[in-house]
Structures are given as structure tokens and as C-alpha cells.
């Protein structure tokens, strides 16, 4: 099943500020217009969509073109002006040539007010790596209960293959909390975002097993998501993969590189 991505999706909690809506329209004008594939794999109930980050393209695609009401996990530092510069430089531009670092450090300060404004007005849930993670999970459970999907980009700074970097695994804990709250086995849906093909492909869902040890479920589900996303990418026509780290474009891999390395 293939469907053309809608230009707009249902807003989750009322209208956003006028300036944010203008910025969103501007981004839509210049960003890829994605076509969606495999939407029949999305379950009837709210789920967790696990996708490749592909730098800025993943969050933009999640905000603009995911087919159902959803909220995206966003690193909390990008939602606090004073924390944006350090995080943005390290996560976005630290792998750029060293002689350009002065420019990107400056840029990281310049974008701080805009980043705070955009990420606090988008359909996001702040993610923390300290005790505040309780708030991340609480908000996620509330959004799921209200009928929205949760979109997660769990890659971290450790290579996995030509398509993906390794996944952080603790996002699976959301399923354990969901089961404790309502007895439902949350499902995780893999998604591969291909900006060069202007497409988002959804794979078959994987259900949480509430009776298995949580450490084993973290490994099983995160591993299944990485394998499924890789498979979705390799099965597409030859294209340039936008990797997780912001490396020089000449170093971007081709999707079939992963098939050759297997």
C-alpha cells in the first residue's frame, strides 16, 4: 500500500502560534515532500514509530508528514536556550573539519533562540538522561492514551552499519510502563526515511513481551528495529543514505553498501 503524504496532519493540542505556523509552512516549502509506503503496517491502536534520524530530515519528516497524530521525542537540551549551543555543536557539527569549528560554535549560539522556540512549539516530548526521564515517560503515556503515536529516533554515536548507527535501548522501557498502566502490549513500528527518494517506508510491527525480562526485551526490540530499518533501506532502489552524524556529503554511503558488506 502506498499513499501520498498529506500536506498537514491533525494538530494534537490546538493551534500553534502564528509565527510557528509560518515557519512550518516555510520549511514545508523547501523540504522534501514525502510519499509514504507500508502504512498498512501501522496498527489500529497508537504505537511507537522507530526511525533513522538522518540529521535534521527525520524530525522534520516526523513533524510534517507522519500519517497520524503523533508526538516526537526531542532531546531536552534543544528546548532550553542556554543548553542549545553546547549540545548542538557536539551532536550536529563536532565531526566537521576542525578548521570550521569556530564557525559552527558561533552558529550553535545563533540558533539557540530559534531552536528553543521551534522545539517547544512543535509536537514534541522532551527527553532527558537523568531523573527527569520520568517526565518523558509520563508525557508519552499520556499521549498514547489520548490516541497519538510516539516517534523516536534512538541512534547514538556508535556505528552499526552503512544505514544506521547503534540504537540507545531504553526507549523500550516505555512499553513496560504502558503494560503496567493498562495491560496493553505496546507495538513498535520500524520506519526508514529516505530524503533522496522523498519517501518514508514502514515495516511490520514488533510487540512488546511483558513476561520477558526487560533487559532482554531492550535487546530484542532494539535489535529487531535496526534489522528491519536496514532491510527497508536495502530493498529500496539505489540511493544516497543521509547518515546520523553530520559528516561531509562526499562520505555519505549508498544503501546497497550495506548489502555488499553483509
At residue 5, does pLDDT exceed 70? no
Give the Cα separation of 232 and 179 in Å (integer): 28
Average pLDDT (222-249) is 95
Give the Cα separation of 66 and 101 in Å (integer): 34
At residue 105, does pLDDT exceed 60? yes
- pLDDT, position 194: 97
- pLDDT, position 262: 52
As a whole-number percent, the residues of the chain with pLDDT over 90 amount to 64
Confidence band of 261 (pLDDT split at 50, 70, 90):
low
Per-residue pLDDT of 137-180, as tens digits, reads 999 999 999 999 999 999 998 999 999 999 999 999 999 999 99
Confidence band of 260 (pLDDT split at 50, 70, 90):
low
Give how far Cα 36 sits from Cα of 46, 55, 137, 166, 168, Å: 18, 19, 28, 25, 26
Instruction: Indicate the burial class of 174 (C-beta count within 10 angstroms; 0-12, 13-18, 19 or more).
Output: buried
30 is written with which cell numbers? Answer: 523547501
**Higher per-residue pLDDT: 88 or 50:** 50
Give the Cα separation of 7 and 33 in Å (integer): 8
**Higher per-residue pLDDT: 203 or 77:** 203
Per-residue pLDDT of 205-219, as tens digits, reads 999 999 999 999 999
Confidence band of 88 (pLDDT split at 50, 70, 90):
confident
Scanning 72-187, the segments in alpha helix (DSSP H) are 84-88, 101-110, 112-121, 133-145, 173-182
Average pLDDT (173-194) is 96
pTM of the entire structure? Answer: 0.89
Per-residue pLDDT of 19-30, as tens digits, reads 888 888 988 888
SS3 of residue 37 by DSSP: strand
27 is written with which cell numbers? Answer: 520549511
Instruction: Indicate the burial class of 139 (C-beta count within 10 angstroms; 0-12, 13-18, 19 or more).
Output: middle
Average pLDDT (122-151) is 94
Amino acid at each position: 500500500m502506498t499513499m501520498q503524504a498529506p500536506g498537514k496532519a491533525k494538530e494534537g493540542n490546538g493551534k500553534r502560534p502564528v509565527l510557528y505556523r509560518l515557519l512550518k509552512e516555510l520549511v514545508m516549502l523547501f523540504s522534501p515532500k514525502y510519499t509514504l509506503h507500508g502504512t498498512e503496517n501501522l496498527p489500529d491502536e497508537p504505537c511507537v514509530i522507530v526511525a533513522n534520524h538522518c540529521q535534521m530530515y527525520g524530525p522534520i519528516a516526523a513533524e510534517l508528514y507522519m500519517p497520524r497524530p503523533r508526538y516526537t521525542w526531542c532531546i531536552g537540551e534543544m528546548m532550553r536556550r542556554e543548553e542549545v549551543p553546547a549540545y548542538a555543536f557536539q551532536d550536529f557539527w563536532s565531526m566537521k573539519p576542525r578548521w570550521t569549528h569556530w564557525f559552527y560554535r558561533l552558529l550553535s549560539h545563533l540558533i539557540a533562540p530559534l531552536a528553543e522556540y521551534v522545539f517547544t512549539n512543535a509536537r514534541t516530548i522532551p527527553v532527558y538522561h537523568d531523573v527527569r526521564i520520568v517526565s518523558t515517560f509520563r508525557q508519552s503515556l499520556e499521549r498514547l492514551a489520548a490516541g497519538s503515536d510516539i516517534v523516536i529516533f534512538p541512534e547514538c554515536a556508535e556505528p552499526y552499519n552503512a544505514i544506521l548507527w547503534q540504537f540507545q535501548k531504553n526507549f523500550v522501557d516505555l512499553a513496560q510502563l504502558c503494560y503496567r498502566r493498562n495491560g496493553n502490549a505496546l507495538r513498535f513500528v520500524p520506519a526508514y526515511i529516505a530524503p533522496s527518494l522523498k519517501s518514508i517506508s514502514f515495516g511490520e510491527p514488533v510487540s512488546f513481551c511483558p513476561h520477558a525480562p526487560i533487559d532482554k526485551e531492550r535487546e530484542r526490540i532494539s535489535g529487531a528495529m535496526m534489522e528491519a530499518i536496514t532491510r527497508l533501506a536495502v530493498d529500496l532502489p539505489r540511493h544516497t543514505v543521509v547518515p546520523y552524524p553530520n559528516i561531509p556529503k562526499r562520505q555519505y554511503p549508498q544503501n546497497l553498501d550495506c548489502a555488499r558488506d553483509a
